[in-house]
Amino acid sequence: MLLEVRDLHVEFHTREGVAKAVNGVNYSVAEGETLAVLGESGSGKSVTAQAIMGILDMPPGKIAGGEILFKDQDLLKLKPEERRRIRGQEMAMIFQDALSSLNPVLTVGQQLGEMFVVHRGMSRKDARTKAVELMDRVRIPAAKERVGQYPHQFSGGMRQRIMIAMAMALEPSLIIADEPTTALDVTVQAQVMELLAELQRELNTGLILITHDLGVVADVADKIAVMYAGRIVETAPVHDIYKAPAHPYTKGLLQSIPRLDQKGRELYAIKGLPPNLTRIPPGCAFNPRCPMARDVCRSDVPPLYEVDERRRSACHFWKETLDAR
């Protein structure tokens, strides 16, 4: 296994108390595999990714427990210098907002080349040649002329391509993409997702795709982990989850999105709001919003039950959820 997150806990110490952003997350990614982490804002999907990358703001953040095994090595036990060597070289991240993740006062060529100067000890001149190559590879037209331009001179889609080029530069074995296409128009989103998938196939990279878009997930993912209030509520191969969700939250999400290919009935709306992370309800965190909640849901935290060999659901009543369609 390329990456394995085991029982990860992350807390934020705020004035209002301790916000438990991640409460015992387990997931794994193999080489060449795409894992989609699906969740709403505040579900802990980005915080988990930041913990893996080692870019969590500490304080206020604090990793309160667990292991992150990358190629059988626990990242949390490494020294900062060793972490830094892995970051960028072996794992890279693509962020949602390319404009604010690129440095506005450096040309894109300088920023792309920096990877090679820092990690590979190349000269500035060679690094620039490499930068042009990379831009060609992510299909930015007229790469040679544009290598000296600044981020604001590129369109949103082109900027996201530069981010992808940067992430792919040192051919890492793991890429974490945090909402990579959320800020883009659909036609551009399709281009960018296709490019990402193509490069992933080429380099056999493991990909963690963090998103809230059920459509994007269905299009590219091999397996899904659905997160709610800092926990994984369901993991499954992508086909299974869309056919028959085994957790009421996943089911609610799928029913609440309108379809492009048919005129809908009234949308199913999950009632209420996601919980405040400083006051996560006892028992199952989803119980106040769940149509199936019973007494046991309010008292006992559901473990990840084994639905079948490749599926897990953190619902006491996963069987009923699966059957009631």
Partner 1 sequence: MAELKKEPVDATPNVSAVETVDVATEAEAVAAIDAPVSQGEPILQVRNLVKHFPLTQGILFKKQIGAVKAVDGISFDLYAGETLGIVGESGCGKSTVAKLLMTLERATAGEVFYKGQDITKLSGRALKAVRRNIQMVFQDPYTSLNPRMTVGDIIGETFEIHPEVAPKGDRRRRVQDLLDVVGLNPEYINRYPHQFSGGQRQRIGIARGLALNPEIIICDEPVSALDVSVQAQVINLMEKLQDEFNLSYVFIAHDLSIVRHISDRVGVMYLGKMAEIGTDTQIYDHPTHPYTQALLSAVPVPDPSAREGRDRIILTGDVPSPANPPSGCRFRTRCWKAEERCATEEPLLAIPERFVAGSTPATHESACHFAEERDVVHAA
Biggest CA–CA distance in the chain, Å, is 67
Sheet of 3-14, strand order: 17-29, 3-14, 61-70, 73-74
261: contact with partner 1 by CB under 8 A: yes
- Are 257 and 40 a contacting pair, CB within 8 Å? no
Q: 77, 79, 258, 295: which one contacts partner 1 (CB under 8 A)? A: 258
Question: Could you tell me the two tokens for 220?
Answer: 């590219």
- Are 201 and 255 a contacting pair, CB within 8 Å? no
Min dist CB 155 to partner 1, Å, is 5
Question: Which one of the spans 17-25, 127-135, 207-215, 306-314 is the region binding partner 1 (CB under 8 A)?
Answer: 207-215
Contact positions with partner 1 (CB under 8 A) in 65-124: none
| CA dihedral (45, 49, 51, 52) positive or negative | positive
Q: 126, 213, 278, 301: which one contacts partner 1 (CB under 8 A)? A: 213
Judged by beta carbon, residue 105 or residue 186, the one nearer partner 1 is 186
- Are 210 and 178 a contacting pair, CB within 8 Å? yes
Map tokens 């699906």 to a residue: 38
Question: Which one of the spans 15-23, 84-92, 113-121, 256-264 is the region binding partner 1 (CB under 8 A)?
Answer: 256-264
Question: Which one of the spans 75-83, 96-104, 247-255, 307-315 is the region binding partner 1 (CB under 8 A)?
Answer: 247-255
158: contact with partner 1 by CB under 8 A: yes
Q: 68, 108, 214, 314: which one contacts partner 1 (CB under 8 A)? A: 214
Using alpha carbons only, give the angle 140, 141, 143 rounded to the nearest 5 degrees: 75
278: contact with partner 1 by CB under 8 A: no
Min dist CB 265 to partner 1, Å, is 9
Judged by beta carbon, residue 273 or residue 296, the one nearer partner 1 is 273
- Are 68 and 40 a contacting pair, CB within 8 Å? no
Give the bridge partners for 207, in sequence order: 34, 175
User: What number of other Cβ atoms are within 10 A of residue 85's Cβ?
Assistant: 13
244: contact with partner 1 by CB under 8 A: no
CA dihedral of residues 117, 123, 128, 132 (deg, nearest 10):
-80
212: contact with partner 1 by CB under 8 A: yes
- Are 61 and 47 a contacting pair, CB within 8 Å? yes
238: contact with partner 1 by CB under 8 A: yes
Question: Which one of the spans 88-96, 144-152, 155-163, 293-301 is the region binding partner 1 (CB under 8 A)?
Answer: 155-163
Can you point out the beta strands (E) in the chain? Answer: 3-14, 17-29, 34-38, 61-70, 73-74, 91-94, 174-178, 206-211, 223-228, 231-237, 305-308, 311-313
41: contact with partner 1 by CB under 8 A: yes
Map tokens 């006992």 to a residue: 300
188: contact with partner 1 by CB under 8 A: yes
Min dist CB 288 to partner 1, Å, is 13
191: contact with partner 1 by CB under 8 A: yes
57: contact with partner 1 by CB under 8 A: no
Contact positions with partner 1 (CB under 8 A) in 163-182: none
- List interacting residues with partner 1 (CB under 8 A): 40-41, 141, 155-158, 185-191, 193-194, 212-219, 238-239, 242-243, 252-254, 256-261, 263-264, 266-271, 273-274
